[in-house]
Structure 1
Amino acid sequence: GVHHAGMLPRYRRLVERLAQAGLLKVICGTDTLGVGINVPIRTVVLTALSKYDGTQTRLLSAREFHQIGGRAGRAGFDTMGTVIALAPDHVIENAKAEAKAAARSAADKKVRKLVKRKPPPGMVSWGQPTFDRLVAAPPEPLTSSLRVTHAMVLNVLDRPGDGRAELERLLTDNYETERANEAHRARAEALEHALRDAEVIEDLDEPDEWGRTVRVTIDLQETFALNQPLAPFALAALDLLDPEHPDHALDVVSVVEAVLDDPRPVLAAQRSKAKGEAIAAMKAEGLEYEERMERLEEITHPRPLADVLEPAFEMYRERHPWVSEHPLSPKSVVRDLWERAMDVGDLVRHYELARSEGAVLRYLTDAYKTLDRTIPEDRKGEDLIDLIEWLGELVRQVDSSLLDEWEALRSPPPDGAQPDVPTTVDDRPPPVTANRRAFTVLVRNALFQRVELAATRRWGELEDLDGDDGWDRQRWFDALTPYLDEHGSIAIDGDARSPAMLQIAEHPDRWAVRQVLADPAGDHDWGIEATVDLRASDAEGTAVVTIDRVGPLA
């Protein structure tokens, strides 16, 4: 088995359960294997007593050594355990050479001079004294990781009683130094001002019925949270958007994406693809090399609403200087996923991100959580709710464990009840058709993806989309040529994508769907008719669509 922090939770959990069942003889892992799991391990083999901590290579601390070494022979499983540390490679090679030289000398009675290998330049070496010191050394004292966040301030101020006094107690009576607590209290005060300026909280002249002197001013869902450092800015920036604009839901997504941490592999892939497409277009135009290179410097990943959000953020930063340590970063990952009508697998293939699937899913999970918990319910229109449900289902179908534990924390069992503990290694996601709202969006996206490809005459991609058993490019071309002769083009704007353009007839085992094509004259007299296989969709984790007919509507 393999186990490390960069893996998706479903894979790590599978390794843990297989080990608990005694089905794995060896697990290769990092020191994350020593935290928070109950796995019986008899022997721990450390390949090195040094590690790279993200900044430099250094010797293990006593705490790190005891954390992973302590897994050997856990109480309740074994009466004893064994910890082995391998010597550095150059020490092993020297020992082999010495043994070989000694054997030869014993055979021919000649003393041979041995040139020992030296450690590689810059290597942090170790030996038996290092091992003995780590065994004998007590673990270093823990250092506090206390961070004052918007969510902490909001939750403490909104609890019954004097929230300010409780926050003061929390940031005074702890294991931090007084100097650190002074910084924490100053930050808490700054965050409280930010929440007040964003009109999330207000002061009360008299305590309310719960004894609170601060009140949350807007109608927030029970799970509301400001988990991102720039979440108050995102909340305030919603007022910059036009609720009547057809792309309002996507604009809300862009505001939220701008305050999330960058998924660097995705953004790098987007830039690379955009530059590749730009070079091809510029070559077709006959531009000289120097001019092409100059224009390439201006190309980056998609940054929707940057011209609106960045000036607004500068004004916000003047009033809240503490946000300077958290730069705004407009980007389009969720929006790109939606606009291209892709699922996670499509995104990974489109941008060649197979080695970064974990980073992609973690970003999509963060985006889903932030959209779900930061946007107040009264600011969520039907289109945005559809999008949030769709995004959550995309993540669940790839790795439901990314959201299962979070959902369990949101809805804990009743007092005294024990949470369900899985007893098998079955990590299959829930049936995709169980979430009707999200599945309907998946069907809409699947049909509209075909509309977009047809509108741009990408017949080959339509053939690839439907696979060997679907329509080939010639059949698509023949079916749509009469439409194009009559209407000229297929619209792919927001109105063309609206739910009203998709008609669904539900049956127990299938859906019969009709995607109406938006023509320039607004006749809406052509469409794509298809069947959605519900059982196959549950098996595949996405909408399985079979095209039946393309033509005039009866």
Structure 2
Amino acid sequence: MTLLELIGDSRDPDAVYDAFVTWANGRGLELYPAQDEAVIEIVSGANVVLSTPTGTGKSLVAIAAHAASLSRGGRSYYTAPIKALVSEKFFALVEIFGASNVGMVTGDSSVNPDAAIICCTAEILANLALRHGAESDVDQVVMDEFHYYGDPDRGGAWQIPLLLLPRAQFILMSATLGDVSAIASDLTRRTGRPTALVTGVERPVPLHFSYARTPIHETVEELLQTNRAPVYVVHFSQAAAMERAQALSSVRIVSREQRDEIAEAIGGFRFTTAFGRTLSRYVRAGIGVHHAGMLPRYRRLVETLAQRGLLRVICGTDTLGVGINVPIRTVLITALTKYDGQRMRQLSAREFHQIAGRAGRAGYDTAGTVVVMAPEHEIENAVAVAKAGDDPKKQRKVVRKKAPQGFVNWGEASYERLVAAQPEPLEPQLKLTAAMLINVIARGGDVFANVRSLVFDNHEPRARQYELARRALAIFRTLVQAGVVEVVRDAAPGGRPQRADSHSTIRLTVDLQPNFALNQPLSPFALAAIELLDPDDAVGAASTPPTSAAPAEDAAEGEHGGNSEETAETAPATVTAGSGHYALDVVSVIEATLDDPRPVLSQQQFQARGEAVAAMKRAGIEYEERMEALEEVTYPQPLAELLAQSFEVFASSQPWVRDFELSPKSVVRDMFERAVSFAEFISVYQLARSEGLVLRYLSDAYRAIRQTVPAEAQTEDLLDVIAWLGELVRQVDSSLVDEWESLINPVADPTAPVVPPAPPSVLTNRRAFVVLVRNELFRRVQLAALQQDDALNELDPEVDWSAALDGYYDDHDVLLTGGAARSPALVTIDESEPGVWRVEQTLDDPEGDHDWRVRAEVDLAASQEEGTAVVRVTEVLRL
């Protein structure tokens, strides 16, 4: 029977407890004493702070909490720090409670948002609490990874629900909370419920700690030989994790039989990217790689293979410490320092125990092992001393290496301190923004009292509360000046106006959308900026990818087949806003509101500066002048000036947007203008370690464009771009689609190959496929404009591109690649022949003769197989 069937319509706490225990036992799960204590407290209606080691089954307690809430007819929220964990828990809860009872809201998408159980990030719940306060439709909150309460940037989202949801029952869970007695006492005061602290529990799987001074490959081999695999080798950078996997690939990790078993499990898995092909080689050798920069399907593959016990070593970063359920017997920590975005520092006790806690999983191991590597110079000294043996003379001759200059050192004393240390107390991190204040004002009622309560009745120290009060007052004055908020003073007896105090009525003068501050917070600005663009602007100056800044372009004028001349020839006489390519300008507006994919922007800037230096050298510019000009070269930022001016105007009436940073950039636009595939974009900018980050950005951009741009602003060109982007994302990684399919058609055989379904045929979405075909043709146009004969001949070896270009440039000075050259009107498609399209691209020349054509065929079967448009040029000719 299912858990809900066992509970039935009973509201008796004892009956709900018995039903849950029966269900757990039916799954072969026997509750640990800590789990049992927590479940008893939950069904009785108490708050619970569950601070028990990793591997003690906090997820099972969360299931019991949701079941207890459902039995009472309540609505429960599960919150986690990252969308990936929210998504994972959503699918797990759907399996237990059924799809109709579980929903998910992540800010940029929602599924079944009116369900009785909602999975969301902490920020979503915080916004809900601010908007509706005690009247929120929230009966229970399960906060996983609650140690994020102390995160400097995001901690406020974990504190706000505790302050503003007095009706809710709270279950706060983490392996590394430290002393939370003050939070528990405050929770009892606010909710009127007793708060049970379930802490200090011994791990069911004890951990054994050690400090190693042997080289890491020897340490790994020793762990494998002593049956302490799987081993998770923890690094604090993605590059270091990949380098370690490469180094260990020369070590015999698995037997021939184990290799065959891995190959059978992998089956026909699609390793379609450069990183994927590297990963394929590693996993077939029994070595996994796991970090946040990987595509989701690659991470899931590694996790699934590890869960089946097929990977003996996994090299990764500390991302595996955030709630992902992978059985690890040994954690090998390669350093006790990390870069936190500002400086190198030693790990905190919380960070150390969060990582170490992954070792030893109940149901898999009787004990877990944690090995901390000594610094490299200390290991080399130990090796040198060992070689010297017992000979005192040789020992005296050993020259001991010192730590490198600037090295943040650690040693055995650091290791011993961290092993013995308890997690540091959680520090409250509440911050106040205009969006938060607007949500509180939108709640109505006594706004003055509500804001005062938020500012002074929280977990912050008194001095910090006064800072928050000053901040709230400054924001309030700005909102009033902007006309977003008005103060209506109630009349005193005798008709005299009251002072501006708590008796005044404070209200918004604008209607907020229901999801205010839940989706992209700058979406309202994006709407206003899009209105400045002209949908009839289809011809523009946008030409070759804008990867170089002005100094280099000036120095290299005429270098790219004369595109600078095209700007003068084809630009509209008057352009009120934008570059002249409306569809791509809309994309640029949306991209400016998205979070920065920093590795991409860094590589774009690096490449732009390289091109700028080369161009300036060719122009004979002196070194000092080059270096000065180089400071101005950055990654492409389309419409930067227009967006900055528009942002200032918008902020004068909507000052809350200043809480968020506008960031012009070109990732989607760059891909489209270059007419490259995902894999080619990764290759151009050498982003193999960041494939997952790039895909997440593209997915966010796709959703933001679809959700933000109103129907009346969507031109045919823009719809083409949207279709292309959606298909690109689906063809690269359809993991979410795969997960939904697995809910509908679950795999009964746990030993079946780990092969996700192929993405939908690239031919299914005709609009998107046509754009892919046009992009393949236009890529040839761009290369021809740059007169890159070798690249063209490599693409189309059966065509003499050199002779064709000689003929074209005998007739015309330049080949245009701007907005007009991309026009669909210059492409014809003949679909009359089965299995193949005959296509023709007209080349755009300055005189407008349009007398040169590129003819090609599109192999539909090959396109379906490869997930992209397979185009073969057959001839380039003059009419």
Q: What TM-score do the two structures reach when normalised by structure 1?
A: 0.74
Per the TM alignment, residue 272 of structure 1 is displaced from its structure 2 partner at its CA by: 1.8
Distance in structure 2 (CA, Å) of the matches to 1:378 and 1:216: 23
- Give deviations 1:80-105, integer Å, cap 9, x for gaps: 22223334455555656666667336
| Residue 543 in structure 1 maps to residue 869 in structure 2 | yes
Given that residues 429 and 460 in structure 2 are in contact (C-alpha distance below 8 angstroms), is that contact kept between their aligned partners in structure 1? no
Q: Relative to structure 2, which stretch is displaced further, 271-280 or 251-260?
A: 271-280
Please give the alpha-carbon distance, in whole angstroms, between the structure 1 residues aligned to 2:429 and 2:745. 30
Tell me if structure 1 keeps the 8 A contact 2:483–2:653. no
Matches of 1:327 and 1:391 in 2, distance apart? 25
Partner amino acid, structure 1, of 2:338? K
Given residue 436 of structure 1, which amino acid in structure 2 is its aligned partner? R
SS in structure 1 of the partner of residue 391 of structure 2: helix
Partner of 1:15: 302
CA distance in 1: counterparts of 2:721 and 2:479, whole angstroms: 29
Aligned runs of 1:306-321 on 2, under 5 Å? 306-317=640-651
Amino acid at match of 1:498: S
Segment of structure 1 superposing worse, 187-196 or 32-41 = 187-196
The 1-side partners of 2:697 and 2:872 are apart by: 31
Q: 1:304 aligns with which of 608, 621, 638?
A: 638
Using the alignment, how far apart are the partners of 2:789 and 2:766 within structure 1?
31
Unmatched 5+ residue regions in structure 2? 1-287, 488-506, 539-580
**Mean Cα deviation higher: 110-119 or 360-369:** 110-119
Q: How big is the shift at 1:441?
A: 0.9
2:387 equivalent to 1:53? no
Q: 1:137 to 1:352 in 2, by over 3 A?
A: closer
Q: CA deviation at 1:356?
A: 5.4
Name 1:271's counterpart in structure 2: 608
Partner of 1:376: 710
- The question of whether the paired residues in 2 share the 8 Å contact of 1:265 and 1:353 is answered with no
How many Å apart are 1:275 and its aligned residue?
0.4
Q: 1:397 aligns with which of 717, 731, 736?
A: 731
Q: Is the Cα contact below 8 Å between 1:153 and 1:192 reproduced in 2?
A: no
Cα gap change, 1:436/1:314 in structure 2, threshold over 3 Å: closer, same or farther?
same
1:77 maps onto 2:77 in alignment: no
Change beyond 3 A, Cα 1:124–1:550: closer
2:350 counterpart (53, 63, 66) = 63
- The answer (yes or no) to whether the contact 1:45–1:84 under 8 Å persists in 2 is yes
Give the 5 Å matches for 1:86-485: 86-89=373-376, 92=379, 103-104=390-391, 117=400, 120=403, 122-127=407-412, 130-142=414-426, 176-177=459-460, 179=464, 183=468, 227-228=519-520, 230-246=522-538, 247-260=581-594, 261=596, 263-276=600-613, 278-279=615-616, 282-283=619-620, 298-317=632-651, 326-351=660-685, 353=687, 357=691, 360-401=694-735, 404=736, 424-426=753-755, 429-454=759-784, 457-466=787-796, 468=797, 470-474=798-802, 476-477=804-805, 481=807
Moved more, 261-270 or 90-99: 90-99
Task: For residues 394-435 of structure 1, give each alpha carbon's deviation from its aligned partner in whole angstroms, at most 9, with x where no partner exists.
Answer: 33433444xx38x98xxx89xxx9577787533554433333
Amino acid at match of 2:822: R
Identity fraction in percent: 52
Secondary structure, aligned partner of 1:72: coil
| Post-superposition offset of 1:254 | 2.0
Q: Give the letter aligned to residue 426 of structure 1.
A: V
Matched to 2:603, the amino acid is V
Show the counterpart of 2:568.
none
Partner SS state of residue 341, structure 2: coil
- How much does 1:477 deviate? 3.9
Structure 2: distance between partners of 1:275 and 1:527: 33
CA 1:536–1:473 in structure 2 vs 1: closer, same or farther (change >3 Å)?
Answer: same
Q: What's the CA shift for 1:282?
A: 1.7
Offset from partner CA, 1:450-474 (integer Å, 9 cap, x none): 23444565444322332x3x42324
TM-superposed CA distance for 1:253, in Å, is 1.7
What residue is the counterpart of 1:210 in the other structure?
none
Please list the CA deviations of residues 332-380 of structure 1 after superposition, one character each: whole Å capped at 9, or x if unmatched. 3322322232223333444555565555444434433432333334432
Instruction: Give the Cα separation in 1 of the matches to 2:859 and 2:447.
Output: 56
- The more displaced of 308-317 and 233-242 is 308-317
Quick check: 540-549 or 136-145, which moved more?
A: 136-145
Deviation at 1:48, TM superposition (A): 3.4
Hey, what's the Cα distance between the residues in 2 that align with 1:457 and 1:47?
50
Instruction: Measure the CA separation in 1 of the matches of 2:373 and 2:411.
Output: 10
Counterparts of 2:591 and 2:865, CA distance in 1: 31
* Larger mean Cα displacement after TM superposition, 378-387 or 226-235: 226-235
The alpha-carbon distance between structure 1 residues 437 and 234, as it changes in their structure 2 partners (threshold 3 A), is same
Give the letter for the 1:337 counterpart: M
Matched letter for residue 45 of structure 1:
L
In 1, the alpha carbon distance for the partners of 2:691 and 2:786 equals 29
Secondary structure in 2 aligned to 1:11? helix
Contact residue 3 and residue 15 of structure 1 kept, 8 A: yes
Which amino acid in structure 1 is aligned with residue 606 of structure 2? A
Supply the distance in 2 between the matched residues of 1:429 and 1:196 (Cα, whole angstroms): 52
| Number of the residue aligned with 1:207 | none
Q: CA deviation digits over 1:167-205, x for unaligned, max 9? A: 979968997538569849967995999899799x999xx
Does the aligned pair in 2 maintain the 1:254–1:335 contact within 8 Å? yes
Q: Which residue in the other structure is 2:86 paired with?
A: none
**1:529–1:548 CA contact under 8 A, matched in 2:** yes
- 1:504 pairs with 2:829: yes
Which secondary structure does the structure 2 equivalent of 1:74 belong to?
coil
The aligned residue for residue 33 of structure 1 is 320
- Alpha carbons of structure 1 residues 255 and 172: separation in structure 2 relative to 1, 3 Å: same
Q: CA 1:528–1:150 in structure 2 vs 1: closer, same or farther (change >3 Å)?
A: farther
Q: Summarize deviations over 1:262-316 as a string: whole Å, max 9, x none.
A: 5432331342244045325524xxx666666665555444333233222333444
Shift of 1:116: 8.5
Map Cα deviations across residues 514-545 of structure 1 (whole Å, 9 max, x no partner).
33445667676664332211222233332110
Q: Which residue of 1 aligns with 2:841?
A: 515
Contact 1:202/1:216 (8 A) holds in 2: no
Q: 1:163 to 1:265 in 2, by over 3 A?
A: farther
Q: Structure 1 residues 226, 444: CA separation in 2 closer, same or farther (over 3 Å shift)?
A: farther
**Higher mean C-alpha displacement, 360-369 vs 32-41:** 360-369
SS of equivalent residue, structure 2 residue 361: coil
Is the contact between residue 151 and residue 226 of structure 1 (CA under 8 Å) also seen in structure 2?
A: no
Distance change (3 Å), C-alpha of 1:59 and 1:520: closer
2:856 to 530, 543, 553: 530
Where structure 1 has 5 or more consecutive residues not aligned to the other structure, the ranges are 204-212
| 1:5 alignment partner, one of 289, 292, 317 | 292
Cα deviation digits, residues 492-528 of structure 1 (max 9, x gap): 4434422233232336533232334456676766643
Residues 293 and 691 in structure 2, CA contact (< 8 A), matched pair in contact too: no
